[in-house]
Amino acid sequence: MKKILSLIFSIALCVTLAACNNNQAVNIDDNSENSPLPALPTVPETVTDTPADSSKSMDTAPGEYQFAVNSDNTVTITKYTGEGGDVKIPAKIDGKKVIAIGNTFKETGAFQGCTTLTSVIIPDGVTEIQDNAFQGCTSLKTVTIAASVTLLRNCAFDDCPNLQSIYFEGDAPQTANYVLNPPLPTIYYHEGAAGWTNLWYSCLTETY
């Protein structure tokens, strides 16, 4: 049964994701593997582009992260300043819980353009990966996403051509209009996790 489901998801590949510029028309060339694919909007209209409680101040943590402190004293990581490679994002910064990886002011995503990033582990406690968070991470191969993550926003992993595997530790998150673009990675999830029949996950899926 699993093999049949995986085959169905693979065949459905051409119904997914792309084009991070909503003002630009998307033209699909059936003869090109790398042509952008139309997105499936799966996030309710009530979901806003950025957390409403993000503060207007930004601090720098000792080490590799800049962050914004939210009104509930949690943290949104706004910029990664490290050297890349294999990165495990901290669950807390300055004693404050990290709840989002992203793009607080609709500018550059936290890891956007980090071409030396090869793998990333997103810790428990993070609930969303915001717009453009990992866009343009051209060396990124593997992502592990904690069960606490419930939302992937626009272009979160756009332009990551070497991304091969995304490991989800929980149920399928909601997704904004554009998250990935071809070539698409294999999605791994735990057997029994909910939501993995959504056609957004039309790339190959396997349990682990």
- Average pLDDT, consecutive stretches of 10 residues, N- to C-terminus, the chain (208 residues): 46 42 32 36 36 42 83 95 96 95 84 98 98 98 98 96 97 90 91 80 82
Question: Buried b vs exposed e over 119-152: b needs ≥16 C-beta within 10 Å?
Answer: bbebbebbbbbbbbbbbbbebbbbbbbbebbebb
This prediction has a pTM of 0.75
Domain topology for 1-18+35-208? 3.80.10
pLDDT at 79: 95
- CA dist 158 and 163 (Å) reads 10
Output the 3-class SS for 177-203. CCCCCCCCCEEEECCCCCCCCCHHHCC
> Of 178, 200, 184, whose CA–CA distance to 21 is shortest?
178
pLDDT of residue 38: 38
Residues 20, 23: Cα–Cα separation, whole Å: 9
The pLDDT assigned to 57 comes to 44
Q: Among 98, 110, 167, which Cα is nearest to 135's?
A: 110
What is the rounded distance in angstroms from the CA atom of residue 199 to the CA atom of residue 40?
A: 8
What does the pLDDT read at residue 131? 95
Q: How far is CA 56 from CA 13, 44, 94, 112, in A?
A: 40, 26, 18, 20
Long-range contacts of 60-67 (CB under 8 A, 24+ apart): 61/93, 61/94, 65/90, 65/93, 65/110, 67/93, 67/98
- Give the pairing of strands 117-122 and 65-69: unpaired
Instruction: Report pLDDT for 59.
Output: 52
